[in-house]
Amino acid sequence: MRKLILLLASALVVSTASPASAESPSTVVRGIVDTTRSGPILSRHLQGQFAEHLGGGIYDGVWVGPDSAIPNTRGIRKDVAAALKAIRVPVVRWPGGCFADIYHWRDGIGPAAKRPVRKNDWWGGLESNAFGTHEYFDFVEQIGAQSYVAINMATSTPSEMREWMNYITSSSADTIANERRANGRKEPWKLGFVGIGNEAWGCGGAQVAEAFADDYRRFSTFLHRNGSTFHMHNDNAALRVASGANNDDTKWTDLLLAKAGPMMDAISLHYYTVYDGKWEHRDMAPATGFPAEHWNHILYQAWRMDEVLRAHEVVMDKHDPQKRIGLFVDEWGTWYAPEKGTEPGYLFQQNSLRDALVAASTLNIFHAHADRVRMANIAQAVNVLQAMILTDGARMAKTPTYYAFQLYVPFQDATALPLSLQSPQIASGNHRFPALTASAARSKDGKIWIALSNADATQGYRVVLDGVAARKVSGQVLTAAKMDAHNVPGQVEQVTPQPFRGASLSGQRLTLEVPAKAVVVVSLSD
């Protein structure tokens, strides 16, 4: 099915996108939308988020405490919660990342004043444990998201995991459930997903795949998931996500599926967009004020998500042709040099129009792989890496990435429609990648939605799509004059969606005048 909706990228035009050149007249690009056939459901979880105890990701970003002068609901920032709710964040992965493997859940329950203060050995600073299990579930309930808890596998035991799972999900009168009740929560919480391990090949214990597969089987057995063999009577019905590969390490996926495939519901994949594709070169790319050639360079690295997914899918199809096991890209996004004057371990970076293009083109790639890719969690929600939101004291800015996600909300749980598009190609060094990526889908209310990202920094395109029968079209565009236009807390936002006036309909033909470096989303109706 993926092939049906995959974009046909052929080299009609190769643009080196020198940002100094004047914008040339639109070039026509043709495509077809097949509204008579359906592709897979585009799971809302593809727009998931990740929030780790790292820098300002939780403290200041989400949690300010009930006594803060910053408006809050039981300690959770009202402005941030409202902004995340508005983009219908479907799921939040927590508490890490690398932090998950040094986190002991008992540190984060009970009276706040009695909780231990620990060193955050991965990212620096002190962990107050003010934000723990109750606060996390309060947060996801406030924003209407599902929960995705990553357990500590590397410095903990199946026993500690079991107790945490029971604390969260037990509906009986056992001692752990009663402890939860005594701490203020009568009913169990709904646990959506459990991550078993995080980057087990790296910060999660530097394990080889064989050893991790054994450990995974052991932890997975004692997760006591309701629905799995022998565990029909348990309260925990969360889906099990095995710690998966880094980037294009398909050997990891192959071995894990061979050894433990039947004991997992999904396997994860982490892919970050970094300078040169090398994590150790991440500091060579600033988030803003970058040289013009970095535009294509970064967008090419983001486009590589497509080939990385294909490689893992080949392996997964071999072990699981029925596609029972999902591929969850539960960490992705841009990773630049930290902002000057900030603590490097806090991974605080600005977020520009270029990040909006990375976000939109990546969501289009996920849509093209939606028969296997059923969750993705951008890193991270607030103040860390490619964030939705940046805070500065009481002030907050929605980033260009936030607005790209906002434009894509109608794609949540919509049904993909096959779309082919002959995209021009852009050059980045010896590499080529498509200027245009696109998605088409039908939402539950019957509307057709089309999204286009144009990564070409200087060239707008007239996109002519056939096969669309509708009478009305309206939409929004996200763009700016400068490649690194960005939003700063407390200042007028420079990058926000605007009404899109470049769409017209004629018979079954939709024409879209897509500007350079822009994201366009339109809806069609009768």
Active site residues: 199, 331
Cα 372 from Cα 349, distance rounded (Å)? 31
**Cα 248 off chain centre by:** 18
Mark residues 47-76: x for contact with ligand AHR by CB under 6 A, - for none.
-----x------------------------
Cα 15 from Cα 461, distance rounded (Å)? 12
**Cα 340 off chain centre by:** 26
**Nearest distance from C-beta of residue 219 to ligand AHR, angstroms:** 17
Cα 178 from Cα 188, distance rounded (Å)? 10
Tokens (6 digits) for 356 = 């909006």
Strands 41-42 and 414-416: what pairing?
A: antiparallel
Candidates 195-203, 255-263, 295-303, 348-356 — which segment interacts with ligand AHR by CB under 6 A? 195-203
Helix 250-260 crosses helix 209-222 at what angle (to 10 degrees)?
40
* Residue 330 is a binding residue for ligand AHR (CB under 6 A): no
Q: Which of 31, 40, 55, 97 binds ligand AHR (CB under 6 A)?
A: 97
**Nearest distance from C-beta of residue 199 to ligand AHR, angstroms:** 5
Which stretches of 274-316 are assigned E, i.e. beta strand? none
Which residue, 94 or 139, is less far from ligand AHR as judged by CB? 94
Asked whether 486 and 495 are in contact (CB, 8 A), the reply is: yes
**Nearest distance from C-beta of residue 378 to ligand AHR, angstroms:** 10
**Nearest distance from C-beta of residue 131 to ligand AHR, angstroms:** 16
Q: Which of 120, 198, 349, 479 binds ligand AHR (CB under 6 A)?
A: 198
**Nearest distance from C-beta of residue 295 to ligand AHR, angstroms:** 23
Phi and psi at 303, nearest 5°, equal: -60, -25
Beta bridge partners of 526: none
* Residue 149 is a binding residue for ligand AHR (CB under 6 A): no
For the segment 332-391, give every residue that binds ligand AHR (CB under 6 A). Answer: 379-380, 385
Mark residues 217-246: x for contact with ligand AHR by CB under 6 A, - for none.
------------------------------
* Residue 92 is a binding residue for ligand AHR (CB under 6 A): no
**Nearest distance from C-beta of residue 166 to ligand AHR, angstroms:** 26
Which residue, 95 or 497, is less far from ligand AHR as judged by CB? 95
- How distant, in Å, are the alpha carbons of 215, 511, 513, 525 from that of 462? 54, 7, 5, 21
* Residue 473 is a binding residue for ligand AHR (CB under 6 A): no
* Residue 109 is a binding residue for ligand AHR (CB under 6 A): no
Which residue, 19 or 345, is less far from ligand AHR as judged by CB? 345
Which residue, 89 or 465, is less far from ligand AHR as judged by CB? 89
- 3-state SS string over 337-371? CCCCCCCHHHCCCCCEHHHHHHHHHHHHHHHHCCC
Cα 154 from Cα 160, distance rounded (Å)? 12
**Nearest distance from C-beta of residue 504 to ligand AHR, angstroms:** 43
Tokens (6 digits) for 250 = 């398909």
Candidates 5-13, 91-99, 404-412, 429-437 — which segment interacts with ligand AHR by CB under 6 A? 91-99
CA-based end-to-end distance of the chain: 27
Cα 397 from Cα 380, distance rounded (Å)? 15
Residues in contact with ligand AHR by CB under 6 A are 52, 96-98, 198-199, 203, 331, 379-380, 385
